[in-house]
Amino acid sequence: MKAVIALADGTIYEGRSFGATGIAGGELVFNTSMSGYQEILTDPSYRGQIVTMTYPLIGNYGVNPEDVESSGPQVQGFIVRENSVVRSNWRATRTLDEYLDDHNIMGVDLVDTRAITRHIRDHGAQNAVISTTRKTPEQLVRMAREWPDMAGLDLVRDVCVDKPTDWNRSGRFRVAVLDCGVKYNILRELQKRGARLKLFPAHGDLKDILKFKPHGVMLSNGPGDPDAVPYAVDTVRELVGRQPMFGICFGHQILGLAMGGNTYKLKFGHRGANHPVKDMRTGKVHITVQNHGFCVDLDSLDNAADIEVTHLNLNDNTVEGIKHKKLPIFSVQFHPEASPGPHDTLYMFDEFMAAVEKTNA
């Protein structure tokens, strides 16, 4: 079945439908990872987005129940050059086509993903609509233009827990996770290091977190515009100075806002498993996993009290990490838990748990 991709600027692409059929819309972005499509599909940070994979063959190792980062797919749509109809991995239980169909997610293949990627790089991420219906291209472009813009959009409430929830019930240290759409592998890495984890909704009551008496606080990744969730910023501001704090991706942006910085939307974002980041403290360069469309403004941190930049993106010199000069509080824009991607920065979890242990010895 033919599928049409209509961008808000009037650009049209045609391909073949797989997965579910119908109409889907969202912000069109691209990811440069060569593998890990199941983790990408289930990453809550992709809520509200149609993801284009730049690697040409996707789906060849199928889908399994273990390699998920949330309860199910979070993307609005999935675009690939070629969807493999054969799953050749002993762990696979479903094909990519079956998996998307099961979860009512639309896919498109046999489309020029290089052209889509170059268009986004030149003109910026923008809203788009995928359709297998009889609607005309003009109607679909109009729908894309009317779709809610990512800037100013609060998607955190759609993906976070609705009440305080235990991830595990044992561990040497209690860590409260401010859930903005946390990836499971962040929780797994903390659990490996002796954390007893409890998830708290980003829009929840601060009293619930304080009642838990955490030894540390994790600020999770998540989707949408950080400026659209002032409730999370207020909570973080109240938690500063109580216990060690570690933010990842969206959590990094929330911490930046709480400490007096600003955020802004990138032209087409950083999404992939091959982004070079320099640790300014050691001079070492790490290859990192990234997934974000917003960024902490470097210039705004000049006025942020007691905050210093610890990591920089070597592609565009954007902020990749900050820390408090006096308190055990820090955050990174990249994803140290990988899943999928290189494990260069797993040491960030060790630093956080070391700070928790030192503070609560």
Annotated active-site positions, please?
A: 249, 335, 337
64/296 Cα distance (integer angstroms): 35
206/31 Cα distance (integer angstroms): 35
CA of residue 347 relative to chain centroid, distance: 20
Contacts of 126 (CB under 8 A, 6+ apart): 7, 8, 9, 27, 28, 120, 144
Q: Which residues pair with 251 in a beta bridge?
A: none
Radius of gyration of the chain (CA): 20
28/76 Cα distance (integer angstroms): 9
Which DSSP helix (H) or strand (E) runs through 187? helix 184-192
Contacts of 219 (CB under 8 A, 6+ apart): 178, 180, 236, 245, 246, 247, 248, 250, 251, 252, 254, 255, 331
